[in-house]
């Protein structure tokens, strides 16, 4: 009885193990869920049974800097099989924010399985511990991004400049620079300065000789007092660093690497403008200015117009304050001013002029004074307030009705406390009242050259249509030529994804390998797990493909595998791309 009971327990245990072995697990695991923009993220897709057609998620908010790497673990413990297959990727974030890595998909025993989305938070650049044994350590010691601030203690609305310099050691070479995090300059008025066509210059960094280039310039006007932060600029740089290996000629071999550098966060202390001596009409102008008030004429007739211009020019925050308003007698009709700015911004700040132009129309005869107008600003050189005032301008209206004239046939009677509105024939004399219309000659379309051309065009097109139809018939009868054209078109279709990734080693060879596998699967009607070298050779030989073509195809696949571990330049990538296109075209022409 005990023996039967023991057998039952063993059978139940084995049955339970079989059931557990049949439960499929497919999960995504990340090395961290919060990282700085200058850090790397590792994500693993793990399954406990072998699958087919693995489809990774769209890493649109990340750059894939490594992978996919595939590892398989298969072991037996106490008669129980343990299997694990992992696809690993290394990712670099493109910008800050909170992102979601979407689902990956794989087919196991004909069923589709998906991972759960993972939430990732990317913050500003963080201090990364330095490891001398890390291959990227050499890159970090030979490339630096520095932010130079012209003044860390400015006044409110005083211009400061931030110049970002990228220092590069002579030991390394830079292939590409990509800006992944741009400072937002909160609490500043900012203007970027064009840095295109900047030349590489020689300089020193920490006492050592470097090359450097001015990557970015910005002019900032602080809009708040107190301590303000200038956010760091972060760049993702593709570069080549020397290794300890040498080629057969003794030259040092270079290794490709990606490095994210940051200029670091800067803090400035903005001083408030002094309250002592501040004018009541001060509107926030800071700099060095001149002030001018002028009129287009000083003598005119009533109902004619003149231009009154109030302008400021110089160096300072010209776009960040308001010009003083004018106050004129009620007998002068004044329209809303037209604002004009002629301002250029360079490393010394804003320079130029701003002005308000008023249209003034006098209604009555007489002399009208335009009183003095004052403008106040804070002078940075003397650190004191200054006031500029204009001269009084007298407008002399020579001809027109008198302001105290009595009511008559052309006047409108008004109350004792209101002025009379006088109507006369010159009320709108400044408006043009006559026209210079000229007669338009009429033309007719009928029986013109264009009419006859359009009429005969369909008859002339008939022979052309016949020629085109015959050309199409000849082309359709050319079986061999059509097969060549079809093969070339098919090669371009499968290699389209690889062509987009030229210059990016890992992405290019992954896309090229995938294109070759997809082509074989479509051409030979086989699954991914049958894509071994011997199987491919056997099937292509059965289809009458030449041995030399099969050899070229297998060599391209070997190049895709070796490319992940050896440095390859873009010339080699182009050669592999062209070779793959020719090989696919030859297989498609020869296969029966």
pLDDT tens per residue across span 154-173: 999 999 999 999 999 888 88
pLDDT at residue 529, as a whole number: 61
| DSSP β-ladder status, 62-77 and 80-93 | antiparallel
Cα–Cα distance between 255 and 241 in angstroms, integer? 5
More confident residue, 415 or 191: 191
- Does 85 have pLDDT greater than 80? yes
pLDDT tens per residue across span 357-406: 999 999 888 888 989 999 999 999 999 999 999 999 999 998 878 765 43
Q: 240 falls in which pLDDT band (50, 70, 90)?
A: confident
- Provide mean pLDDT across the span 522-543: 74
Identify the weakest region by mean pLDDT among 52-56, 263-267, 492-496, 578-582.
492-496
User: Does the reported pTM lie above 0.75?
Assistant: no
- Does 275 have pLDDT greater than 50? yes
Which of 114, 140, 106 is CA-nearest to residue 125? 140
Q: How many residues does the chain have?
A: 592
Number of Cβ within 10 Å of residue 284's Cβ equals 15
Which of 195, 196, 234, 200 is CA-nearest to residue 218? 195
- Provide mean pLDDT across the span 532-548: 81
Cα–Cα distance between 171 and 168 in angstroms, integer? 8
Q: Could you give the 3-state DSSP secondary structure of residue 173?
A: strand
Residues 244 and 255: beta-carbon distance below 8 Å: no
- Provide mean pLDDT across the span 65-70: 80
pLDDT tens per residue across span 16-36: 444 444 588 889 999 888 888
Cα–Cα distance between 475 and 360 in angstroms, integer? 79
Tokens of 115: 């991972």
101 to 26, 54, 122, 306: CA distances (angstroms):
15, 16, 12, 66
pLDDT at residue 407, as a whole number: 36
Tokens of 434: 């006559």
Q: 291 falls in which pLDDT band (50, 70, 90)?
A: very high
Which of 305, 381, 313 is CA-nearest to residue 351? 313
Residues above pLDDT 90, as percent of the chain: 27
More confident residue, 578 or 408: 578
Cis peptide before 224 (omega within 30 of 0): no
Tokens of 98: 């909170």
- Provide mean pLDDT across the span 488-496: 66
- Provide mean pLDDT across the span 59-82: 79
DSSP string, 180-221: EE----TTEEEEEEP-TTPPPEEEEETTEEEEEEEEEEEEEE
Q: Could you give the 3-state DSSP secondary structure of residue 331?
A: coil
pLDDT at residue 406, as a whole number: 34
- Does 342 have pLDDT greater than 90? yes
pLDDT tens per residue across span 172-219: 888 888 888 888 888 999 998 888 877 889 998 888 889 999 999 999
Highest mean predicted confidence (pLDDT) among 196-205, 308-317, 546-555, 576-585: 308-317
- The helices-and-strands tally (H runs, E runs) of the chain is 9, 32
- Does 411 have pLDDT greater than 60? no
């Amino acid at each position: 009885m005990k023996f039967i009971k023991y057998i039952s327990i063993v059978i139940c245990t084995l049955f339970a193990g079989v059931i557990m072995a049949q439960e499929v697990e497919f999960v995504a695991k990340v090395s961290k869920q919060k990282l700085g923009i200058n850090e790397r993220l590792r994500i693993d897709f793990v399954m406990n049974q072998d699958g087919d057609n693995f489809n990774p998620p769209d890493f649109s908010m990340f750059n894939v800097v490594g992978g996919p790497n595939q590892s398989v673990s298969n072991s037996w413990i106490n008669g129980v099989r343990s299997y694990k297959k992992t696809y690993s990727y290394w990712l670099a974030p493109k910008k800050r924010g909170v992102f979601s890595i979407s689902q990956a998909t794989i087919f196991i025993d004909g069923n589709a399985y998906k991972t759960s989305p993972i939430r990732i938070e990317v913050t500003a650049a963080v201090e990364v511990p330095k490891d001398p044994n890390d291959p990227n350590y050499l890159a970090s010691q030979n490339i630096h991004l520095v932010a130079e601030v012209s003044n860390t203690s400015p006044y409110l609305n005083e211009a400061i400049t931030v110049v970002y310099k990228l220092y590069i050691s002579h030991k390394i070479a830079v292939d590409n620079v990509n800006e992944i995090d741009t400072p937002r300059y909160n609490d500043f008025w900012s203007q970027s300065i064009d840095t295109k066509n900047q030349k590489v210059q020689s300089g020193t960094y920490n006492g050592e000789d470097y090359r450097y280039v001015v990557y970015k310039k910005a002019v900032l006007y602080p809009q708040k007092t107190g301590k303000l932060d200038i956010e760091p600029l972060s760049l993702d740089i593709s570069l080549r660093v020397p290794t300890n290996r040498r080629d057969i000629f003794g030259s040092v071999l270079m290794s490709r690497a990606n490095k994210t550098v940051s200029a670091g966060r800067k803090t400035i202390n903005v001083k408030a403008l002094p309250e002592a001596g501040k004018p009541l009409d001060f509107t926030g102008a800071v700099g060095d200015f001149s002030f001018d008030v002028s009129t287009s004429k000083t003598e005119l007739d009533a109902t004619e117009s003149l231009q009154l211009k109030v302008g400021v020019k110089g160096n300072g925050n010209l776009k960040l304050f308001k010009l003083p308003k004018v106050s004129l007698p009620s007998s002068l009709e004044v329209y809303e001013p037209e604002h004009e700015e002629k301002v250029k911004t360079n490393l010394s700040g804003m320079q130029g002029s701003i002005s308000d132009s008023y249209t003034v129309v006098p209604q009555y005869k007489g002399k009208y004074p335009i009183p003095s107008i004052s403008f106040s600003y804070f002078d940075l050189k003397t650190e004191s307030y200054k006031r500029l005032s204009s001269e009084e301008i007298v407008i002399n209206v020579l001809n027109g009705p008198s302001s105290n004239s009595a009511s008559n046939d052309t006047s409108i009677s008004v109350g004792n406390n209101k002025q009379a509105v006088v109507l006369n024939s010159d009320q709108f004399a400044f408006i043009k009242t006559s026209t210079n219309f000229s007669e338009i000659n009429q033309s007719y379309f009928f029986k013109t050259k264009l009419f006859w051309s359009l009429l005969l065009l369909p008859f002339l097109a008939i022979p052309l249509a016949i020629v085109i139809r015959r050309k199409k018939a000849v082309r359709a009868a050319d079986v061999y030529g059509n097969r060549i054209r079809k093969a070339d078109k098919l090669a371009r279709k499968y290699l389209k994804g690889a062509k987009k990734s030229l210059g990016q080693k890992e992405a290019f060879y992954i896309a090229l390998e995938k294109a070759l596998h997809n082509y074989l699967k479509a051409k030979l009607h086989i699954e991914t797990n049958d894509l071994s070298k011997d199987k491919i050779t056997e099937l292509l030989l059965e289809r009458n493909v030449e041995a030399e073509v099969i050899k070229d195809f297998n060599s391209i696949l070997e190049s895709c595998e070796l490319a992940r571990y050896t440095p390859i330049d873009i010339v080699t990538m182009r050669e592999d791309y062209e070779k793959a296109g020719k090989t696919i075209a030859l297989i498609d022409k020869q296969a029966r």
